[in-house]
Chains A and B, each alone.
Chain A
Amino acid sequence: MNFDRLKRTLHLLIPLMFLVTACATTQDHLLDMNTSQVQLRSIQSRAFDTTDKEKTMRAIIATLQDLGFMLDRADYTLGVVTASKARADSVQMQAYASLRITVTVRPRGEKQLLVRASAEYLRSPVTDAKPYQNFFNSLEKAMFLEAHQVD
């Protein structure tokens, strides 16, 4: 009698355990930080010697358009621009891939603006310095201003 009850409880418990572990493993990604946050912020940010937010945001949008991105969202008040570039061609055997990027602009001191970009590629965050370096090189040309590294 007792053994029977135990068996029944086990039958209930085992699928429940699977459910619980399954949820925990994928939801963890919500607030994950893989690299040191300070280091990543420095890779993703540059300071420009201007206080013209509108001009800076226009330059960001123009750069993204030059790079073949499609704009998803832009908000002047928040200083946020989000764009993505997705391409695929099943005939030419090119697998689907999408590169998404959010760029924010905010004041840094009284004479500068801080531009921060964060990108996502193939369902993971971009933490390498090189892609950001390339993006800011492209942005510098549209801004006609030098991008300063910040600590």
Chain B
Amino acid sequence: MRLPFRFGCAALAALLLMTGCYAVTLDRDLNLTPEMFAQRQVQTRRFDTTDEKKILTTCAALLQDTGFTIDESDTQLGLLIASKERDASDPVQWAVFLTAGIFLGVPIPPDKDQVMKAFVTTRPAGTEGRQVAVRVVFERTVFDTEQRLKKIEPLNDPNLYRGFFEKLSKALFLEAHEF
């Protein structure tokens, strides 16, 4: 009789926590922080060219090569937004789901689908605009098997960005300089 009561308390506390803690807040998310500048370093490279348009078209082609669909673009402002929908099944999560379901009777639905987004901006940089800086940001939205929203998160792994810029640099026949 004591266990369900405890469980109920835990569930209630979890609910309270969930309503009390928002992932985005007005106080925090409109202020620049040192972490944001660090992110910018990881997500930006400079190329020795003055042809911003060429960089943008190469980025569009690269995104298309990697299975993205272009959602929005503007050459005058130097931006590209693209997205793709992919499978997000994770064998580890399925193992946890089955174990928890069988032994504890608590179903934790595993991830199923994800929408990945890419946001690219270009801008003239360097002395007298002799370089073009490219910045890309990736984020993803994950849904579980019940089609409920599980998480929306930025993809911060530096390797992802390194990989993107390596490919871009090859396609442009130009060397990518760290910011």
Question: With a CB–CB cut-off of 8 A, which chain B residues contact A86?
Answer: 24, 141, 152
* Contact across chains for A58 and B153 when beta carbons are under 8 A apart: no
Question: By the criterion of a CB under 8 Å from any partner CB, how many residues of chain B are at the interface?
Answer: 40
Main secondary structure of the interface of A (DSSP, over half): mixed
State the total of A-B contacts with C-beta under 8 angstroms: 122
Is B23 in contact with A95, judged by CB distance below 8 angstroms? yes
Q: Is the CB of A99 within 8 A of B119?
A: no
In the complex, the answer to whether B23 meets A96 with C-beta atoms within 8 Å is yes
Interface residues on A, range: 35 or more
Flag if A57 contacts B32 (CB, 8 Å).
Answer: no
Our pick among A68, A98, A131 for the contact of B154 (Cβ within 8 Å) is A68
Q: Mark B71-90, 1 if CB is under 8 A from A, else 0.
A: 01010111101000000000
Which residues in B have their C-beta under 8 angstroms from that of A131? Answer: 26-27, 30
Q: Contacting B151 at CB < 8 Å: which of A71, A88, A126?
A: A88
Contact B26 A54 (CB under 8 A): no
Which chain A residues lie closer than 8 Å to B29 at the CB level? 67-68, 85, 99
Contact of B77 among A54, A68, A91, A137 (CB under 8 A): A54
Decide: A87 near B121, CB < 8 A? Known: A74-B79, A95-B19: no
Q: Is the CB of B152 within 8 A of A88?
A: yes
Cβ-defined contact, A95 with B79, below 8 A: no
Q: How far is the CB of B137 from chain A (nearest CB, A)?
A: 6
Q: CB distance B153 to A87 under 8 Å?
A: yes
- Which residues on A are within 8 Å of B, measured CB to CB? 54, 57-58, 61-62, 65-68, 70-76, 85-91, 93-99, 119, 121-122, 126, 128, 130-131, 134-135, 137-138, 141
